[in-house]
Amino acid sequence: MSAGALLAGFAADLLAGDPRRGHPVAGFGQLALAAERRVYAPSRLRGTLFCGVFVGGAAVFGELLARRVGRARALAIVGWAALGGRSLVGVAGDLEKLLRAGDLAAARAGLPALVGRDPSALDERGVARAVVESVAENTGDAVVGPLVWGAALGPAGVCAFRAANTLDAMVGHRSSRYAEFGWAAARLDDLMAWPAARIGALLACACAPLVAGSPRRALAVLRRDGAAHPSPNAGRLEAAFAGALGIRLGGTLRYGDREERRPSLGDGPPPAICDIARARRLSRAVGVSAALLASAGRKVRLATLSSGAFR
């Protein structure tokens, strides 16, 4: 039942998407923001304690919920809350429609729902690239990650992963305010996202034929370019998506007044509008594959634990 609960949570997200009101992840973020305002100091120690309390507290919540309602039911509930695949491809689809309609201004205005970069100077291909890169990266964070940690540690693992990912989005970025305070959140998120990024990248390579791509080419791009990205995890997924889609990601991007030059990932042309639909399809395929794999892994883990308990 616990193994099937991962599939149930994934199916709930696929069919219903995020809760419209009272989303627990949003509530967690609001609570963390209120606490951050009280305890903030440009200190790694303060930031580490802040991160530890909230990630540890989220794990404890997941375990208490499992004891309250049953492990399988808790895993399905927190899985649904933590997964965001439907919202990811939905927002990307909305932006694709705006670009197809020629409404570049509206597409720029809607882009911050997916990425943190400055969209004001992006042309049509720039927006398309930002959407594809975000779909690739967030397939790991919003889909594969919760499934992997659910298979490994159950409800507590899902809650801890989503908490670490949320804190990283809040305080883990490189700014003068959070360079020290957000250090622990950024490092923990990198650590917890490590397995999901690599599993997701390999699944993207395997699913390449579904978007008229080549698994061999995708794997070659992943092995050659995945480590070139400044992120130890986003680069793997973006490289795998670039190889599977036959496009080139990377290049210059801007965050406020700060400009970054990202290395090129892949060998093809820059993404066009049509590549957004292909990236969305690839993300869905990776999600389904990850859910099946995680469910099987959870079943094997439980069988192993059960057999060991009776020796």
**pLDDT by residue (tens digit) across 147-190?**
999 999 999 999 999 999 999 999 998 788 999 999 999 999 99
- Give the distance, in angstroms, between the CA of residue 179 and the centroid of all CA atoms in the same chain: 22
In terms of DSSP bridges, do strands 249-255 and 258-265 run parallel, antiparallel, or are they unpaired? antiparallel
Q: Which residue has the tokens 């292909």?
A: 278
- Average pLDDT of the residues in 260-272: 91
Q: What is the pLDDT of residue 305?
A: 57
Indicate if the pLDDT at residue 253 is higher than 80. no
Rounded to the nearest 10 degrees, the angle between the axes of helix 85-100 and helix 273-309 is 170
Tell me how many domains the chain contains: 1
pTM of the predicted model as reported, rounded to 2 decimal places: 0.92
Cα–Cα distance for residue pair 246/242, rounded to 1 Å: 6
The dihedral formed by the CA atoms of 91, 78, 151 and 285, expressed in degrees to the nearest 10:
-20
pLDDT above 50: residue 64 = yes
Q: State the DSSP H helix or E strand holding residue 250, giving kind and residue range, or none if neither.
A: strand 249-255
Please classify residue 267 by burial: count the beta carbons closer than 10 Å to its beta carbon, then call 0-12 exposed, 13-18 middle and 19+ buried. middle
Give residue-wise pLDDT tens across range 4-47: 899 999 999 999 988 777 789 999 999 999 999 999 999 999 99
**Residue 311: what pLDDT?**
46
What are 274-278's contacts with CB under 8 Å, separation 24+? 275/128, 275/132, 275/245, 275/247, 276/92, 276/93, 276/95, 276/96, 276/99, 276/128, 276/131, 276/132, 276/135, 277/93, 277/96, 278/211, 278/212, 278/245
Residue 287 Cα distances to 86, 88, 179, angstroms = 10, 11, 33
Alpha-carbon span 268 to 246, nearest angstrom: 5
Residue 258: which domain range?
Answer: 2-309
Residue 101 token pair:
């309609």
